[in-house]
Amino acid sequence: MNASLTPDTSIQFIKGIGPKRAGLLHKADVHTVEDLLFYFPRRYLDRSHLMNIGQLPANENATVVGRVYSVDMIQGRKKRLVVLVGDGTGFLTCVWFRALKYMTTAFKPGETVAFSGKVNFFRGPQMVHPEYDKISDEGEKDTIHTGGIIPLYPSTESLKKGGFDSRGFRRIIHQVLADLPPMPETLPLDILSEHRFMPLSECLYHMHYPADWQHLKQAQKRLKFEELFYLQLFLALQRKKYIIEKKGISFEKVGELTRDLVQHLPFELTDAQKQVLRQIRQDMKSNRPMNRLLQGDVGSGKTVVACICMLIAVENGYQTALMAPTEILAEQHYLTLHDWLEQFGVQVALFKGGQPSRERTDLLSRLANGEIQVAVGTHALVQEGIEFHKLGLVVIDEQHRFGVLQRAFLRKKGIAPDVLVMTATPIPRTLALTLYGDLDVSILDQMPAGRKPVRTAWRNEKQRQAIYEFIRTELGQGRQTYIVYPLVEESEKVDLAAATEGYEMLKSVFPEFRLGLLHGRMKGEEKDAVMQDFKAGRIHVLVSTTVIEVGVDVPNATVMLIEHAERFGLTQLHQLRGRVGRGGHQSTCVLLSQYPLSDDASKRLETMTRTNDGFEIAEADLEIRGPGELFGTRQHGALNLKLANLVTDGPILEMARKEAFDLVHRDPELGLPEHQAVKLTYHHRYKGKFGLIEVG
């Protein structure tokens, strides 16, 4: 008996586990009884949907559940293990040629096992090297026949060897559920009753022993909600800590300068830009630090919004900084800001790597004494040794991992500056609510007037000459063209070769035009020189690796030809396409793909030809890749969600967010008696478990 079992009991004290087997579970991050109960099946088999062995189709994948009748090692030209399985409708032969020593002891007659694999016929149905999951032993039927649903647990080979296959997990969990007093509730009672959620204890039971599909769905829904609720609680507390509690700057004045700037712009602001500026103005005016995400598809005109905000900071006597992810972009922003702000006598400076130390020392001292009002650079701007006189506003362009940077700023400075993060990567709402869940969000959902949507054509090698002729026509009319080669991380040299060779070849295709080459190995000044020539129209065709991906703005360019388009990700393709269609001329993006094409690649290219809408593309991307891979979050530990799925669980996420933010609003310290369980659960179960977004 485990009479004294509690949720915190170490698993090695569960009857039948012991230190050695506990060690195996530790590797799966299962340490306590509670962890074990939260170790959920990876999928569930529906008995009524299983195939009968008697009706298995040839050459298709199938899952059957049957009883092992015999286990034989066949000696012969090719030694193999043959396991005969029956389910009352027929017999299936499962064959293994590998790992025979281990496999010989893997099955015993009388066991019930699920086998999944491709079916072929050789004197009857057979599967070679099927996946298998042991479900029960003879005589265990009562604990197994749960509404015809068979839970299959995530298990590694070494876990299986240690007895933790699906059957092993079910045995142990069954015993724990029988011996453990009901688990204390982890959600506030009012939330439970409002949403009619199943109580925790019941949920845990149905996750492992579902009575039927309906109970299982209800249990899953509540546990997904719980997971997302604690994630959003983290974000709500974060927001409280960084925004609500900190005192920020109140920018009172919007005066002459700002009005003048708007009047001198060569265009009228769009309604969306005006609307967003009103929201930002309110943030800047209030004495809480602004923490705002400005989302706007490529070409929607974020830069001018940033520029106006920066001018407001300057008018109020503060310095402001703009950070870009690459030097090329920093340079471009510098030129734009310089252009727009010079007329008002505003001092703008560019900080970049490799500046002569004399020049740098000079810049640094002018920044420290407040002479430089607008500083532009890469994140080198937050390096040690850079001191501002009076920093009031930080704008971060195209930055996904802003959290780390922002906090670096906050730590350094006495008062919290306002922060505006701009991103062109359209983030699906569900992901925005998690990755940027502690920010306010503004959206530029309107393109400047007169823009014509970019046409997108998906072509193959056979059409290359026709593409070149099309480009020649555009160039003949005074337009410009980008030709982009992919960058494959494994070998920078090979890519370089592709772009360089392409460049040489293209020179003979377009002898009458001037071509330029741009790639990541070039020195900063060389890159700048090429970009400047392209901007000024001195170069007609820019051949490049993906260094131009983000933010580059040359309105006269109307053709974007992407070589090996099948190698690019969707977001990247969308970004690249966004380099054209920035002026009044009709623009075209040509996706030139090579065979073979994977399914995913075809889906990506098809999506690109179907829509120009960044949000639709982001949704498609999320579906094709899954959330973990977006924004390079995979490298950073991703979003460690166990049950919830950001693609399909949007409605649950919205619900969880509302409840969590309401709760923190009503009880910021989680001090009320009815919130003690929440506080405990948050610190004990969830805090620190969400991966990336908790960085910094």
Which stretches of the chain bind Mg ion, using CB under 5 A? 551
Task: Rank residues 180 and 350 by Cβ distance to Mg ion and give the closer one.
Answer: 350
Interaction partner, residue 301 (ligand ADP, Mg ion, none; CB < 5-8 Å by kind): ligand ADP
Q: Which of 69, 97, 102, 267 binds ligand ADP (CB under 6 A)?
A: 267
- Listed in sequence order, the residues at least 6 apart from 522 whose beta carbon sits closer than 8 Å to its beta carbon are 530
From the CB of 386, what's the least distance to ligand ADP, in Å? 25
**Rounded-to-integer distance, Cα 554 and Cα 637, Å:** 37
Regarding 555 and contact with ligand ADP (CB under 6 A), the answer is yes
Phi, psi values for residue 79, rounded to 5°: -65, 135
Structure token digits, residue 694:
């908790």
Residue the block writes with tokens 């000079």:
362
Regarding 613 and contact with ligand ADP (CB under 6 A), the answer is no
Regarding 335 and contact with ligand ADP (CB under 6 A), the answer is no
From the CB of 316, what's the least distance to ligand ADP, in Å? 23
- Asked whether the bond before 182 is cis by omega within 30 degrees of 0, the reply is no
| Beta bridge mates, 82 | 72, 95
What one-character DSSP code corresponds to residue 483? Answer: E
Regarding 650 and contact with ligand ADP (CB under 6 A), the answer is no
| Beta bridge mates, 294 | 422, 442
Element (H, E) at 73: strand 61-74
Task: Rank residues 51 and 307 by Cβ distance to ligand ADP and give the closer one.
Answer: 307
Judge contact between 543 and 502, C-beta under 8 A.
yes
Stretch that binds ligand ADP, among 91-99, 184-192, 293-301, 670-678 (CB under 6 A): 293-301
Task: Rank residues 11 and 589 by Cβ distance to ligand ADP and give the closer one.
Answer: 589
Residue the block writes with tokens 């530790």:
26
Task: Rank residues 85 and 321 by Cβ distance to Mg ion and give the closer one.
Answer: 321
> In the chain, what is the greatest distance between 2 CA atoms, to the nearest angstrom?
93
Interaction partner, residue 553 (ligand ADP, Mg ion, none; CB < 5-8 Å by kind): ligand ADP
From the CB of 323, what's the least distance to ligand ADP, in Å? 14
**Rounded-to-integer distance, Cα 151 and Cα 693, Å:** 31
**Rounded-to-integer distance, Cα 485 and Cα 659, Å:** 47
Sites for ligand ADP among residues 409-438 (CB under 6 A) = 424
Count of beta carbons in the 10 Å neighbourhood of residue 623: 14
**Rounded-to-integer distance, Cα 24 and Cα 35, Å:** 14
Phi, psi values for residue 212, rounded to 5°: -165, 180
* Angle formed by the axes of helices 302-315 and 271-285, nearest 10°: 30
Interaction partner, residue 448 (Mg ion, ligand ADP, none; CB < 5-8 Å by kind): ligand ADP
From the CB of 695, what's the least distance to ligand ADP, in Å? 26
Regarding 299 and contact with ligand ADP (CB under 6 A), the answer is yes
Task: Rank residues 258 and 434 by Cβ distance to ligand ADP and give the closer one.
Answer: 258
Regarding 270 and contact with ligand ADP (CB under 6 A), the answer is yes
Task: Rank residues 225 and 631 by Cβ distance to Mg ion and give the closer one.
Answer: 631
Binding footprint of ligand ADP, residue count (CB under 6 A) = 19
**Rounded-to-integer distance, Cα 566 and Cα 432, Å:** 27
Sites for ligand ADP among residues 93-152 (CB under 6 A) = none
**Rounded-to-integer distance, Cα 52 and Cα 62, Å:** 10
Task: Rank residues 352 and 582 by Cβ distance to ligand ADP and give the closer one.
Answer: 582
Regarding 657 and contact with ligand ADP (CB under 6 A), the answer is no
- Listed in sequence order, the residues at least 6 apart from 23 whose beta carbon sits closer than 8 Å to its beta carbon are none
Regarding 298 and contact with ligand ADP (CB under 6 A), the answer is yes
Task: Rank residues 551 and 627 by Cβ distance to Mg ion and give the closer one.
Answer: 551
Task: Rank residues 38 and 436 by Cβ distance to ligand ADP and give the closer one.
Answer: 436
Regarding 582 and contact with ligand ADP (CB under 6 A), the answer is yes
Residue the block writes with tokens 């799925």:
645
Regarding 296 and contact with ligand ADP (CB under 6 A), the answer is yes
From the CB of 238, what's the least distance to Mg ion, in Å? 27
Q: Which of 64, 92, 304, 419 binds ligand ADP (CB under 6 A)?
A: 304
Judge contact between 550 and 522, C-beta under 8 A.
no
Task: Rank residues 551 and 581 by Cβ distance to Mg ion and give the closer one.
Answer: 551
Phi, psi values for residue 393, rounded to 5°: -145, 130
Stretch that binds ligand ADP, among 299-307, 531-539, 613-621, 622-630 (CB under 6 A): 299-307
Instruction: Count Cα neighbours of 143 within 13 Å in the Cβ-side half-sphere.
Output: 21
From the CB of 333, what's the least distance to Mg ion, in Å? 8
Judge contact between 590 and 512, C-beta under 8 A.
no
Regarding 574 and contact with ligand ADP (CB under 6 A), the answer is no
Regarding 607 and contact with ligand ADP (CB under 6 A), the answer is no
Render 316-342 in DSSP notation, one character per residue.
TT-EEEEE-SSHHHHHHHHHHHHHHHG
From the CB of 335, what's the least distance to ligand ADP, in Å? 12
Stretch that binds ligand ADP, among 207-215, 300-308, 365-373, 629-637 (CB under 6 A): 300-308
By beta carbon distance, the residue nearest Mg ion is 551
From the CB of 303, what's the least distance to ligand ADP, in Å? 3
Regarding 301 and contact with ligand ADP (CB under 6 A), the answer is yes
From the CB of 230, what's the least distance to ligand ADP, in Å? 35
Q: Is 127 left (phi over 0), alpha (psi -120 to 50) or beta?
A: beta
Angle ∠(351,357,360) on CA atoms, nearest 5 = 30
Residue the block writes with tokens 């993006």:
589
Strands 120-121 and 125-128, bridge-based pairing: antiparallel
Structure token digits, residue 588:
């075209």
Burial of 19 (0-12, 13-18, 19+ CB in 10 A): exposed
| Beta bridge mates, 375 | 321, 349
By beta carbon distance, the residue nearest ligand ADP is 301
Task: Rank residues 540 and 582 by Cβ distance to ligand ADP and give the closer one.
Answer: 582
**Rounded-to-integer distance, Cα 65 and Cα 31, Å:** 31
Task: Rank residues 304 and 405 by Cβ distance to ligand ADP and give the closer one.
Answer: 304
Stretch that binds ligand ADP, among 40-48, 239-247, 263-271, 433-441 (CB under 6 A): 263-271
Residue 199 CA, distance from chain mean position: 32
Helix (H, G, I), strand (E, B) or coil at 154: coil
Regarding 575 and contact with ligand ADP (CB under 6 A), the answer is no
Stretch that binds ligand ADP, among 113-121, 192-200, 262-270, 678-686 (CB under 6 A): 262-270
**Rounded-to-integer distance, Cα 674 and Cα 669, Å:** 12
Interaction partner, residue 582 (ligand ADP, Mg ion, none; CB < 5-8 Å by kind): ligand ADP
Interaction partner, residue 623 (Mg ion, ligand ADP, none; CB < 5-8 Å by kind): none
From the CB of 329, what's the least distance to ligand ADP, in Å? 9
Regarding 553 and contact with ligand ADP (CB under 6 A), the answer is yes
Regarding 272 and contact with ligand ADP (CB under 6 A), the answer is no
In 431-544, DSSP assigns E strands to 440-444, 455-460, 480-484, 515-518, 541-544
Binding mask 440-469 for ligand ADP (x = CB under 6 A): --------x---------------------
Judge contact between 494 and 488, C-beta under 8 A.
yes
From the CB of 443, what's the least distance to ligand ADP, in Å? 12
Q: List interacting residues with ligand ADP (CB under 6 A).
A: 267-270, 273, 296, 298-304, 424, 448, 551, 553, 555, 582
